[in-house]
Structures are given as structure tokens and as C-alpha cells.
Amino acid sequence: MKKNIFFIAAMAIVTFSNDVQAQAQAKVKTLKTYAQDSALVKYNVADAAKPGICSEIIKKVESIDPDIKITGATEYAPLSRVEPMLESGQIDVFFCLLKSAERIKKYNYASIPLYTIKHVMAVRADDDVKISNYEDVRKLGKEGTVLVTFGSTLVKTAQAEKLTVDDSAKTDEQNFSKLLDKRARFFYGQDMTLLTAIKNAKLEGKVKIIEANFKEEPLYLATSKKLSEDIFNKLQADLEKLKKSGDLDKISAKYK
């Protein structure tokens, strides 16, 4: 009789434990994303010490919120593929995206800036060109052709400034090659992105960055409009915590 009682009690404990575990697992929301290809300052999963700003932010969100699991952050895709997948709901979230009027119509943006970038121009190291603003570049006409990576919102910024734009290359690596081949004079991009690309491609001494009076812009978490409001608000709250704790600033500071 005692054995039966112990057996029943043990089974009840196991059943309770399984129910608790099942409830905990049911609470966890798995969100799909992708890592942006050719943007090592954002995603560089091969480097354990500096895996990228966005990779680190994703890990921080998961560490403070056990109800959120984000998959796909080690799978690379170009931004030109990521954006339509985010719009259609094939992926749920994308970390570190610039805002634009067109993008705001397609995605929901969390209000917390993840980090801020400066727009800069890269030139060949032996080029002594002096520029202080967009007007100086514009005055050069075709002698000041500007490379911009295809799919970047910087393409529209450069076009709005009436610069001579070549956005035919789909990766930063291709644009650095075109710059060194003297097929253009400038490569227009984001400061941390270009600096990281220069270091990784060992282009120091061949290419330099000119910081002029260009734009500064924050990057944000963008989500599919099909993502539930509850999960969006949960992510918003997580980012607010990381901002208040100083974690977001600490992460981005590592890459400057």
C-alpha cells in the first residue's frame, strides 16, 4: 500500500513538473530574423570577440527576456532580400535598420535607437580631395562620382543631394574594388560599417575615410506589421531596459 502511495505521489510530481515545463515553453515566443550580409559591424558571427552590434543586442534581449527566442541571426541574407521578407511576414524582426518614409509604411519601428551612425565618404589614400559637405561633392560633377551599395537608404540620400551616383554594386567589397580601380572617386557609407570593412579587407593605407558635414542617423529594431502588438510591446520594453542600463551604448562603443 505504501509503495502505491509513493508511486502515485511520484507520478503526481512528475506530471506537475511536466505541466510547468510545458507552460513555460508555451510562453516562449520564437521570432525569425536574418543577419545582414556584407555588414560586419552589424553581424560578424565568425568573430566571437566582436560578433557585431546587432548580434550582441539580440543576445542581450534574449538574456533579459526568457520569453523571447530569436532564430536566424547566424543566417546571412542581403538587405534586398531581408526587406521583402520582413514586409510579407516571412521574418518577424530585423535589428538595426535605418528609417525612411517608404520603410515606415511597410514595417513597425520600436522607438528606442539602437545606435547612431554618421554618413562618411571613403576615398583612395592618395586622393587629397578636400570636401566639407554635399555641395563640395556636387560641384565636382562626374569627377565626383559616388559609389553607394545597392539597397541602402543612402542611395536615396545621395540622389536627393543631386550627387552623381553609382549604386550598381551589391556589396561593400565590390564598391571598395571599384574605388581602388578608379571607377569612382567616393564611396558613400556609414562610418562604423566602412571602418570595419576596411580593417577586415586589410585596406588600411589604400583607403581613407573623410568625415564631413553629412547626416547622422539612428538605427532601430524594425518588425513585421503582422507581429502581434503584445510581442512588439514586449520587445519595446526590453530595449527600454537595455537603454536605461547603458548596455546599448556599451555595445556600440566597442565598434567605434
Write out pLDDT tens, residues 64-106: 999 999 999 999 999 999 999 999 999 999 999 999 999 999 9
Classify residue 6: in a domain, yes or no: no
User: Among 9-18, 32-41, 49-58, 245-254, where is mean pLDDT lowest?
Assistant: 9-18
Instruction: Give the model's confidence band at 16: pLDDT under 50 very low, under 70 low, under 90 confident, else very high.
Output: very low
Radius of gyration, alpha carbons of the chain: 23
**Phi-psi group of 190: left, alpha or beta (phi > 0 → left; psi -120 to 50 → alpha; rest → beta):** beta
Q: CA quadruple 177, 128, 194, 88: dihedral positive or negative?
A: negative
23 pLDDT above the threshold of 70: no
2 pLDDT above the threshold of 90: no
CA distance 110 to 112: 6
Classify residue 9: in a domain, yes or no: no
Q: Are residues 239 and 187 in the same domain?
A: no
Classify residue 97: in a domain, yes or no: yes
Structural domain for 53, as ranges: 29-114+219-254
Q: Are residues 126 and 154 in the same domain?
A: yes
How many domains does one find in the chain? 2
Q: Are residues 232 and 189 in the same domain?
A: no
What is the CATH classification number for the domain harbouring 75?
3.40.190.10
CA distance 88 to 205: 43
Classify residue 124: in a domain, yes or no: yes
pTM for this prediction: 0.81
Q: Are 97 and 103 within 8 A, CB to CB?
A: yes
Instruction: Give the model's confidence band at 149: pLDDT under 50 very low, under 70 low, under 90 confident, else very high.
Output: very high
pLDDT for the residue numbered 4: 56
Classify residue 12: in a domain, yes or no: no
